[in-house]
């Protein structure tokens, strides 16, 4: 199939493009490179060539999902079979400061994309959602039946809004086949060390922050809160390897060929790890000591969050393969080989 991947040069997008190309699909990437690098695409091609794919069938379009004319052109010039929609602004703190930017780009941009899809007769879609839609959970682990709650920030709210729009769209027209994938905490990098997470600014996520401390770009890590009701007092999250996550999109793509309507799947390992466990695993992988200090809890942070991944296992035949140590090893390989990300 020819798959349109919006945000295909980003962290999760680039890893998914690799898996799509290496599985025999044709890929059209739409990205405006506002939070990604064209070099990621060059590296994707290199990985595919190293894997024996001499000329990966890849088209790259520089454009924004808010640009109606550009989308119309993409659909008219490429025979698109399905869309994987990653493009969006994603920094939680920034979303609190600039809510209108987030609603314009994430919600309005998504509507523009869905309209272009409908006009072109493309009704197969995978949407990159988030476990943030569950808010502060009453019970763990989280399943797809767990209630979604009012998210604590505009980023999470934009994801929940788009999910609602897609559910309404699927109810209005049986032609739509939609997967809503709620990710837990993607980390790691491609085992080749060629592509990985490259934050524009100071990282807001734990693992890229740790890895920048390890190479000396940042002085020390702040651990926000050590008084949570968890075994070591630090927050617990369900970390999954970005390659496992990318493969989940291929499984969802297979599933929506026959599953009509809007289907929700959680993607996570089913196991939670605390901040201190992640630090220890990274120190083991890198041989570096990670200096850290305990700081007060951050507003909006929750104590624990992990999923029950059994629905994805049963319905998508998807399970994770990488453990926490491997996630940290691959993160370190990427960071060590690319101390300045894609800018070196």
- Is-catalytic flag, 155? yes
- The Cα–Cα gap between 274 and 327 comes to 14
Q: How many CB atoms lie within 10 A of CB 215?
A: 15
Catalytic residue among 11, 102, 134, 155: 155
Structure-token match 């695409």, residue found: 41
Q: Among the residues of 23-91, which ranges form H helices?
A: 38-50, 68-77
Is residue 293 within a helix (H) or strand (E), and if so which, with residue range?
strand 292-295
- The Cα–Cα gap between 200 and 243 comes to 21
| Cα Dmax for the chain | 56
Alpha-carbon dihedral angle through residues 251, 255, 257, 261, given to the nearest 10 degrees: -130
What is the token pair recorded at 30?
């739409």
Is residue 120 within a helix (H) or strand (E), and if so which, with residue range?
helix 109-120
Structure-token match 């502060």, residue found: 136
Query: What is the set of active-site residues?
Result: 155
């Amino acid at each position: 199939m020819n798959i349109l991947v919006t945000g295909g040069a980003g962290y999760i997008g680039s890893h998914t493009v690799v898996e799509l190309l290496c599985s025999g699909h044709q890929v059209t990437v739409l990205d405006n490179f506002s939070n990604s690098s064209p070099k990621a695409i060059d590296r994707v091609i290199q990985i595919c060539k190293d894997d024996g794919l001499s000329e990966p069938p890849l088209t790259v379009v520089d454009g924004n999902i808010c640009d109606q004319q550009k989308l119309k052109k993409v659909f008219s010039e490429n025979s698109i079979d399905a869309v994987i929609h990653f493009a969006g602004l994603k920094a939680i703190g920034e979303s609190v400061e600039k809510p209108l930017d987030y609603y314009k780009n994430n919600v309005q941009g998504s509507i523009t994309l869905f309209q272009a899809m409908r006009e072109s007769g493309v009704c197969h879609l995978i949407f990159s959602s988030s476990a943030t839609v569950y808010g502060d959970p009453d019970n763990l682990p989280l399943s797809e039946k767990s209630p979604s709650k009012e998210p604590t920030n505009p980023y999470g709210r934009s994801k929940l809004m788009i999910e609602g729009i897609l559910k309404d769209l699927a109810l209005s027209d049986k032609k739509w086949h939609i997967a809503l994938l709620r990710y837990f905490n993607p980390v790691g990098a491609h085992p080749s060390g060629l592509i990985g997470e490259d934050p524009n600014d100071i990282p807001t996520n734990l693992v890229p922050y740790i890895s920048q401390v390890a190479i000396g770009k940042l002085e020390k890590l702040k651990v926000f809160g050590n008084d949570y009701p968890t075994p070591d007092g630090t927050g617990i999250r369900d970390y999954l390897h970005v390659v496992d996550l990318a493969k989940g999109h291929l499984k969802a793509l297979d599933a929506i060929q026959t599953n009509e309507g809007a289907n929700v799947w959680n993607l996570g390992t089913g196991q939670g790890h605390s901040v201190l466990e992640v630090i220890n695993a990274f120190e083991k992988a890198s041989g570096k000591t990670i200096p850290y200090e305990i700081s007060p809890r951050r507003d909006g942070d929750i104590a624990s969050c992990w999923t029950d991944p059994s629905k994805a296992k049963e319905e998508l035949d998807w399970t994770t393969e990488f453990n926490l140590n491997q996630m940290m090893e691959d993160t370190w390989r990427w960071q060590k080989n690319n101390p300045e990300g894609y800018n070196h």
